Amino acid sequence: MILGVNERACALAKAHKPEHFDLERVVRPNILALKPYRCARDDYQDGILLDANENSLGPSAVHAEEHLRLHRYPDPSLYGVREAMTRLRGLPHPAYTFMGVGSDEAIDLIQRCFARPGQDKILVCPPTYGMYQVSACVNDIGIVQVPLTMPGDPRGAFQLDVPKIQATLAADPAIKLVFLCSPGNPTGTLLPLDDVRAVLDTPAYQGMVVVDEAYIDFALEQQAMKEEHGPLSAVSLVHEYANVIVSQTLSKAFGLAGVRLGLAFAQPPIIQVLMNTKAPYNVSTLAAHAASEALAPEGMKRMRSNVRTLIENRQALIEALSTVPGMGQVLGTNDANFVLVQVLDAPNGSPDSQRAEAVYKAMAEQHGLVVRNRSSELGCAGCLRITVGTADENKQCIQLLRHLLAM
């Protein structure tokens, strides 16, 4: 039994697939048994508060806004951010939403709750976000890799190899978590929901699937611009599947990387396990207040306008890169706010990782323009990952690449 779970919220789920999944067999026994820490603010948020050993004289920060009450621990309601994100993602109750210090906290917490150190494993699909493996190493969890399909594969580049994932899960019962990144980092490629469903439905798999959607708002807004319809986000699967967790962040599309606020969406028993295990007051008042402004109508309007501008700038950047001698293909389907592009060698036009490294260093160290060298990643030979900037920043990047590759 999951302590504290909201049974009424559980009943709001449309389904609890797959039938063979039992969450209590996945939660680490010590996590299942722990009695969660109860914060003072869980009980009362208003009145004369002499319960939490706070400084009753107020904050020492000179410019602290009075209404934020920074001398008090955060109110668990966090300016309604949890409720606002739940509504935004189309889920029926805040019990489906977890908030953390960036999505990295959620990634780490998921591993700590559902994978036993020294015994269990995670499955990742490189090239992918590196923190899944870093967190696994910190938590003494094994790592199994099933690579994405590579450029040139008839199934498409950077897609899930579903049959191989299913076979790997069937062969290794120690795998408790599958981490999928959509849109991928560094690939920028959105994963089809049918492929995610296929992994979730794997009959022999008793664990959970985590879909990391840090960049999903770029894909959603692009869909809206094209006036297309249909679910893109794996949050739509939370309505049905008891073994899926979707992580997101306000760092990218919402432009709040500095406040470190991430989210996870899942059916209430999973969210309750995370809530029971997290540190008290893990999200700060300042972070929550900034998020509440971003989620207000004016903030949402600004976010969508900015995302549309970045999508337009991304297309302009891709077109400009195609005109630079020495630059190769832009890989992936470009569903995020960056592009993954090849640097070629001079003689025969093949991807050149050594040249990519040299260009990357020269850009940063001699010209103060920093991109990311991803040429050591599987399937990314010779590749630089370029974040989409302002129109002027993109122009400077193109001019610099043209200059350096002409030398």
Q: Tell me if 40-55+300-406 shares its fold with 78-299.
A: no
Please provide the DSSP assignment of 281-344 as one string. T-S-HHHHHHHHHHHSHHHHHHHHHHHHHHHHHHHHHHHHHTTSTTEEEEES---SSEEEEEEB
Note the pLDDT of residue 72: 85
Q: What is the pLDDT of residue 43?
A: 64
Q: How confident is the model at residue 73 (pLDDT cuts 50, 70, 90)?
A: confident
Phi-psi region of 246 (alpha: psi -120 to 50; beta: other; left: phi over 0): beta
What distance in Å separates the CA atoms of residue 142 and residue 26, rounded to the nearest whole number? 16
pLDDT of residue 306: 94
| pLDDT given for residue 89 in this prediction | 97
Confidence (pLDDT) at 40? 59
pLDDT at residue 267 above 60?
yes
pLDDT tens for 168-217 read 999 999 999 999 999 999 999 999 999 999 999 999 999 999 999 999 99
End-to-end CA distance of the chain: 66
Residues 304-354 pLDDT 10s: 999 999 999 999 999 999 999 999 999 999 999 999 999 999 877 899 999
Chain centre distance of CA 31: 24
Q: Please state which CATH number belongs to domain 78-299.
A: 3.40.640.10
CATH T-level fold of 40-55+300-406 = Aspartate Aminotransferase, domain 1 (3.90.1150)
Region 7-32: mean pLDDT is: 90
- List pLDDT tens digits, range 29-65: 888 887 776 665 666 666 656 545 555 555 555 556 7
pLDDT band at 95 (very low <50, low <70, confident <90, very high): very high
Distance CA 102, CA 359 (A): 31
Q: And the tokens for 297?
A: 């109508």
Question: Which token pair is 320?
Answer: 């400009």
Average pLDDT estimate for 93-106: 95
Query: Which residue in the block uniquely carries the two structure tokens 């935004």?
Result: 88
Contact of 207 with 144, CB cutoff 8 Å: no
Write down the pTM of the prediction.
Answer: 0.91
Query: Among 72-81, 91-100, 147-156, 298-307, which stretch is predicted with the lowest mean pLDDT?
Result: 72-81
pLDDT at 36 (0 to 100): 75
Read off the amino acid at residue 369.
L
pLDDT score at 305: 93
Q: Residue ranges of the domains in the chain?
A: 40-55+300-406, 78-299
Quick: pLDDT tens for 208-237.
999 999 999 999 999 999 999 999 999 999
For residue 205, what pLDDT is reported? 96
